[in-house]
């Protein structure tokens, strides 16, 4: 289908015209309710990282609750983990990080229920916890809340993940330790 290919080319474009198309598309889609049908388009725009497109999507919206109307599901969790893993924490758009973390906090408010929707791996946790390095107070508080929720996981069924959650909390809270000492360096850049 040529229309789909054209849109894919626009989302992957790095030239001025592609960027302008993404911004215009973000402005247009912002007026359409975010739901399961429009979610893929929102995610494609977010993945581009175009600051002006972010401005359009987040205008008058709280990034933490951008996806709050959606029921937590595997596809959404997979997408936000993917977005968080692709970004450099030092250069990622703060609103993008907050929106992704909002999905995870919602999905894992009940850690065991969240694990049935999308079983987090240690790698997923590292890709999420690397945002402690931003030293952004709001992001830090959300990550702390997420780790607190995940600490309720059964140490038996989720032993490795549970251990990693406790280690991340320890490394974050202990001023003599660095979160970079537990997360592989390749994930931090």
The pLDDT value recorded for residue 188 is: 79
Q: What is the per-residue pLDDT across 156-185, written as a single tens digit (0 to 9) for each?
A: 889 999 999 999 999 888 888 888 888 988
Q: Which residues contact 96 (CB under 8 A, 6 or more apart)?
A: 46, 49, 54, 63, 83, 87
Contact between residue 14 and residue 51 where contact means Cβ atoms under 8 Å apart: no
- Token couple for 151: 């600490």
Taking Cα atoms as reference points, which of 116, 119, 110, 100 lies closest to residue 42?
A: 100
**Distances from the Cα of 40 to the Cα of 8, 10, 100, 124, angstroms:** 12, 15, 14, 21
For the chain, what is the domain count? 1
Cα-Cα end-to-end distance for the chain: 36
Q: What is the CA radius of gyration of the chain?
A: 17
Number of Cβ within a 10 Å radius of residue 91 = 9
The pLDDT value recorded for residue 155 is: 80
Q: Confidence class of residue 66 from pLDDT cuts 50, 70 and 90? A: very high
Q: What is the per-residue pLDDT across 11-57, written as a single tens digit (0 to 9) for each?
A: 788 889 889 999 999 999 999 989 999 999 999 999 998 999 999 99
The pLDDT value recorded for residue 1 is: 60
The pLDDT value recorded for residue 82 is: 96
The beta strand positions in 110-166, using DSSP E, are none
Which domain covers residue 13, as residue numbers? 2-188
- Token couple for 94: 């703060």
Say what the pTM is: 0.91
């Amino acid at each position: 289908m040529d229309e789909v290919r054209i849109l894919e080319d626009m989302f992957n474009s790095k030239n001025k015209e592609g960027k302008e198309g993404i911004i215009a598309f973000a402005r247009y889609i912002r007026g359409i309710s975010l739901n399961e049908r429009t979610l893929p388009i929102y995610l494609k725009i977010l993945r581009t990282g175009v600051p002006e497109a972010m401005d359009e999507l987040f205008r008058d919206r709280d990034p933490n609750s951008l996806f709050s109307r959606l029921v937590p599901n595997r596809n959404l969790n997979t997408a936000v983990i993917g977005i968080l893993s692709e970004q450099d924490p030092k250069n990622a758009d703060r609103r993008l990080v907050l929106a992704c973390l909002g999905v995870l906090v919602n999905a894992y408010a009940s850690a065991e229920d969240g694990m049935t929707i999308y079983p987090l791996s240690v790698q997923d946790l590292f890709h999420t916890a690397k945002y402690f390095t931003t030293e952004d107070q709001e992001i830090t508080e959300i990550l702390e809340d997420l780790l607190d929720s995940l600490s309720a996981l059964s140490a038996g069924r989720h032993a490795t993940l549970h251990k990693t959650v406790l280690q991340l909390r320890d490394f974050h809270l202990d001023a003599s330790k660095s979160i970079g000492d537990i997360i592989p360096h390749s994930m931090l850049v």
